[in-house]
Amino acid sequence: MHVARTLTACVLLLASVAALCSPSVVAAQDSSSSTYIVVPGDTLGAIATRLGVSLEALIAANGIQDPSLIRVGQELIIPNADGTVPVVAVAAATETGTARALAGETIATLAARFAQDAALVAELNDAPPERRLFPGQPVQIPRQAVPPPSANFGAITAVDAPASIVQGRTGRIYVETSRPLLLRGEWNGRSLVFTAIGDDGLRQFAFVPVDALLDPGQYPLHLGYVTARGNFVQRAWLVQVAGGLYDYQEIVVPEDKAAALTSDVVVAERERVVETWSQLTPSVFWERPFQRPIDTDYPTTSPFGTRRTYSVADIGNFHAGQDFGAPEGTLVVVPAPGIVALAEPLAVRGNAVIIDHGRGVFSGYWHLSERKVEVGMWVDTGDVLGLVGNTGMSTGAHLHWELRINGVAVDPMQFIDEAPFAGPEIETSTAP
């Protein structure tokens, strides 16, 4: 009996060694992989030795301040042999994706965790459902079941990225870090502007604006930072852009107004306003939901995002703001604190005012009969900025209210319903 038990133990030990040496497990831990999942019993020194990298480089790549504080499941960035850091990114959608096994899991239990058929997952991985998996081992599963990438990479400890955003709406990404970082993000060719929440600089957020004409589908949202050694690391999250329910409208511009409108005038005006809302003020001036810029007695006559064609010139192919029908002379008020960045007559937009609310957020007010503010003025919520009019390329007295974030026109009504960010107070600035 004793001999039988000994033989059984030896067989089990050999099986365990074989499992640890299997190609699928080694791939999860060799130094050619750009990341490593911490398992029970790991230390930074042991990981560095096993993967053949410098302990100092491993600590620097991940911004670790206390080498003794690593946790099971944490994902570490593995530096190259020369100490540089590889770029970590999630590939675009394919038919299958990768999930990481937890301690003690089999293919069958992993499949159950993602509500997938065990036989299908087993077939994708050319292994039986009862195959035991090594913690952190990559397993192929259907793409629609793939969870978002681990939020732990380097000094970034948590990421809350939007899974889906409707055309013309604004999402938000929240990032937590182990030390203050200068985060860099990119969304559809535009840089994200991150703002710290709280005093310690360990939590930041950024708006993720979606163009109203962006085709529905999945798009990567990139996030990264420069390590203490000067290397840039990044990762990407796939965000689903959903179609919005927008109507169609044809605008016929009166002949007397159309006569003065040429392509040169339209282009020059477009460059003028783009130059204005492309500035980036370092301070944030608002922290509460926007106030409606006109009394609730005046209804919406043309909502944001309406697809449009115009009888003259190339003014645009969708409605970039929210129109409120109101008699000429109706008061228009400031919806949130800011600095007046533009106040002048324009050919298309008529008497116009643009307010800078800080950190790439601007609101615009077109077709005013009178302007009550000047460039450089500090304005607060509820201040009168002008009067409703019918100036510029307007077919009747109304207020056009526009909101731009990082230059992208988004639905301003969303910001009446929602606070700009969630969580503790953001550090805002008052009148400069």
Q: What is the CATH number of the domain that holds 269?
A: 2.70.70.10
C-beta of residue 288 within 8 angstroms of C-beta of residue 297: no
417 CB neighbour count, 10 Å cutoff = 9
Q: What is the tally of structural domains in the chain?
A: 2
Question: Is the pLDDT assigned to residue 297 strictly greater than 90?
Answer: yes
State the Cα–Cα distance between residues 151 and 157, nearest whole angstrom. Answer: 6
Choose the weakest-confidence range: 41-45, 84-88, 211-215. Answer: 84-88
Question: Is the pLDDT assigned to residue 339 strictly greater than 90?
Answer: yes
Q: Is residue 106 one of the residues assigned to a domain?
A: no
Q: Is residue 339 one of the residues assigned to a domain?
A: yes
Average pLDDT of the residues of the chain: 80
Distances (CA, A) of 94 to 161, 240, 363, 400: 20, 14, 39, 43
Please classify residue 234 by burial: count the beta carbons closer than 10 Å to its beta carbon, then call 0-12 exposed, 13-18 middle and 19+ buried.
Answer: middle
170-177 and 156-160 as β-strands: parallel, antiparallel, unpaired? antiparallel
**Residue listed under structure tokens 């990421």:** 159
End residue of a domain, out of 195, 211, 242:
242
Question: Is the pLDDT assigned to residue 290 strictly greater than 70?
Answer: yes
Asked if 344 and 269 sit in the same domain, the reply is: yes
Question: Is the pLDDT assigned to residue 3 strictly greater than 50?
Answer: no
Q: Is residue 234 one of the residues assigned to a domain?
A: yes
Q: What DSSP designation does 207 have?
A: E
Q: Is residue 107 one of the residues assigned to a domain?
A: no
Question: Is the pLDDT assigned to residue 252 strictly greater than 90?
Answer: no
- The per-residue pLDDT for range 343-353, each reduced to its tens digit, is 999 998 999 99
Asked if 328 and 404 sit in the same domain, the reply is: yes
Domain CATH number, residue 230: 2.60.40.10
Asked if 282 and 406 sit in the same domain, the reply is: yes
Q: What DSSP designation does 22 have?
A: S
Give the residue with greater pLDDT, 393 vs 39: 393
pLDDT value of residue 255: 66
Sign of CA dihedral 302, 308, 314, 320: positive
| Domain encompassing residue 215 | 156-242
Q: Is residue 86 one of the residues assigned to a domain?
A: no
Asked if 232 and 259 sit in the same domain, the reply is: no
Q: Is residue 44 one of the residues assigned to a domain?
A: no
Q: Is residue 322 one of the residues assigned to a domain?
A: yes
Q: What are the residues facing 208 on neighbouring strands?
A: 171
State the Cα–Cα distance between residues 182 and 216, nearest whole angstrom. Answer: 31
Asked if 211 and 313 sit in the same domain, the reply is: no
- Average pLDDT rounded to a whole number, residues 86-113: 64
Q: What DSSP designation does 298 have?
A: S
- Average pLDDT rounded to a whole number, residues 294-304: 94
27 CB neighbour count, 10 Å cutoff = 12
Asked if 256 and 399 sit in the same domain, the reply is: yes
Q: Is residue 138 one of the residues assigned to a domain?
A: no
- Average pLDDT rounded to a whole number, residues 45-49: 83
Asked if 371 and 262 sit in the same domain, the reply is: yes
Asked if 320 and 396 sit in the same domain, the reply is: yes
Asked if 226 and 306 sit in the same domain, the reply is: no
C-beta of residue 374 within 8 angstroms of C-beta of residue 343: yes
End residue of a domain, out of 242, 274, 302:
242
Asked if 232 and 203 sit in the same domain, the reply is: yes
Structure tokens that stand for 357 in this block: 């609310």
Give percent helix, percent strand, percent coil of the chain, each to the nearest 5.
20, 35, 50
pLDDT value of residue 14: 35
Question: Is the pLDDT assigned to residue 236 strictly greater than 90?
Answer: no
Asked if 207 and 287 sit in the same domain, the reply is: no
- Average pLDDT rounded to a whole number, residues 318-325: 92
State the Cα–Cα distance between residues 228 and 55, nearest whole angstrom. Answer: 15
Short-list 317, 309, 285, 304, CA closest to 403:
304
- The per-residue pLDDT for range 372-407, each reduced to its tens digit, is 999 999 999 999 999 999 999 888 999 999 999 999
C-beta of residue 188 within 8 angstroms of C-beta of residue 214: yes
Question: Is the pLDDT assigned to residue 432 strictly greater than 80?
Answer: no
Asked if 280 and 352 sit in the same domain, the reply is: yes
pLDDT value of residue 341: 98
Choose the weakest-confidence range: 202-206, 253-257, 386-390. Answer: 253-257
pLDDT value of residue 18: 33
End residue of a domain, out of 242, 262, 289:
242
Q: What are the residues facing 32 on neighbouring strands?
A: none
Residue 2's pLDDT band (cuts 50, 70, 90): very low
Residue 15's pLDDT band (cuts 50, 70, 90): very low
